[in-house]
């Protein structure tokens, strides 16, 4: 199974507003060393770790998005638009002005407006979103 096939089974999973938390997101957190017990903790990396577990791929084990910069095989950004969509490609983005903040998601394709990705904690749910190319820190292929 590819990361995208596993992700599509999780499409639409969302945070629950208020004191109740989505058990599925708590399950994603269990794939990291943080093991958070709330869906209010950033969970994009938790989802990717959980998906990697489901697919038998290497994972970072960390809830930090930038931890993925050290996992898998680094890809040249110029080669990424031409990759086979069945490959397990992730993209890591910087977020805001913090040198440690980030976002990680599955690469789908480059568009006129940015990078289309499939990921978690995008508007508090698993969905597809576009992020700016200027915010890309790296592309990695998980094996």
Tokens of 119: 């990921």
Q: What is the model's pTM?
A: 0.97
Q: Is the pLDDT of residue 84 over 90?
A: no
Distances (CA, A) of 58 to 6, 17, 24, 122: 15, 32, 21, 23
Mean predicted lDDT score pLDDT of the chain? 96
Hey, how many other C-beta atoms are within 10 angstroms of the C-beta on 2?
18
- Range scoring the smallest mean pLDDT among 7-11, 27-31, 97-101, 128-132: 97-101
Q: Looking at the predicted structure, is the pLDDT value of residue 86 above 90?
A: no
Q: What mean pLDDT do residues 114-142 have?
A: 97
* 23 vs 80: CA distance, rounded Å: 34
| Predicted pLDDT at 85 | 75
Confidence of residue 83 (pLDDT cuts 50, 70, 90): confident
Residue 116 has pLDDT above 80, yes or no: yes
């Amino acid at each position: 199974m590819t990361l995208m096939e596993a992700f599509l089974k999780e499409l639409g999973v969302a945070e629950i507003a208020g004191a109740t938390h989505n058990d599925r997101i708590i399950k994603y957190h269990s794939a990291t060393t943080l093991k958070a017990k709330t869906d209010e903790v950033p969970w994009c990396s938790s989802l990717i770790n959980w998906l990697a577990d489901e697919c038998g791929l290497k994972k970072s084990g960390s809830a930090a998005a930038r931890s993925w910069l050290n996992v898998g095989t680094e890809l040249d950004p110029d080669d990424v638009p031409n990759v086979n969509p069945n490959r397990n490609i992730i993209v890591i983005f910087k977020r805001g002005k913090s040198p440690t903040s980030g976002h990680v998601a599955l690469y789908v394709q480059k568009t006129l407006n940015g990078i289309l990705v499939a990921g978690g904690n995008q508007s508090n749910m698993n969905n597809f979103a576009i992020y700016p190319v200027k915010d890309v820190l790296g592309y990695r292929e998980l094996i």
